[in-house]
Amino acid sequence: MPYQLPTFNLQCGIWWNYATPLLPPPLLGVNIVSVCNLQFAKKLAGQEQFQGAWLLLPPLTDIRPPSCYGGAPFPLPDWVEVPFLSGRYYVVVDVDDLAKGFPTEHRVANLTKRWWWFGYGGTFVDPIPWP
């Protein structure tokens, strides 16, 4: 059976290079609303931490990892809300294309739950709790 394009059964909001940690992105307006498919990443043997989620998107969807923005010392990531208007925010870790050049081509973004790290003590906080 040939590889099939994923079913894009959800909508997501994408905010580019988002910089305001204490305001929910909807207050500033979404850059893109796209169809998508959200999947949990698999836990590999020997890895004890949750590895995030995969967001599958149509080809050429404008979503970028922090490395695309450059800037020093810390480039800002894109934020994603999946499903759109749910209050569940993620940060984009990496993006790549799958099946490039084939009819089943689509974009894949690696996501992690949105959080902020403060200080060298390793304190993780979420000023916008999930619903």
Kindly report the backbone phi and psi dihedral angles of residue 97, in degrees, each rounded to the nearest multiple of 5, phi listed first: -100, 140
Among 39-43, 44-48, 70-74, which range has the highest average pLDDT? 39-43
Answer yes or no: is 5 within a domain. Answer: no
The confidence score (pLDDT) of residue 61 equals 95
Q: pLDDT class for 55, splitting at 50, 70, 90?
A: very high
What value does the mean pLDDT of the chain take? 79
78 closest CA partner among 107, 54, 109: 109
Answer yes or no: is 50 within a domain. Answer: yes
Answer yes or no: is 4 within a domain. Answer: no
72: DSSP letter: S
* pLDDT above 90 as % of the chain: 34
Among 58-62, 65-69, 116-120, which range has the highest average pLDDT? 58-62
Q: Encode pLDDT of 62-93 as tens digits.
A: 998 888 877 656 667 788 989 998 888 888 88
Answer yes or no: is 131 within a domain. Answer: no
Answer yes or no: is 120 within a domain. Answer: yes
Answer yes or no: is 58 within a domain. Answer: yes
Given a cut of 60, is residue 3 above it in pLDDT?
yes
Q: How many domains does the chain have?
A: 1
Answer yes or no: is 16 within a domain. Answer: yes
The confidence score (pLDDT) of residue 89 equals 85
Q: Which residue has the tokens 């992105």?
A: 25
The confidence score (pLDDT) of residue 42 equals 66
- Full domain range(s) for residue 78: 10-125
CB 33 within 8 A of CB 84: yes
Q: Encode pLDDT of 85-101 as tens digits.
A: 888 888 888 999 999 99
Answer yes or no: is 29 within a domain. Answer: yes
Rounded to two decimals, what is the model's pTM?
A: 0.79
Please state, in angstroms and rounded to a whole number, the distance separating the CA atoms of residues 111 and 54: 6
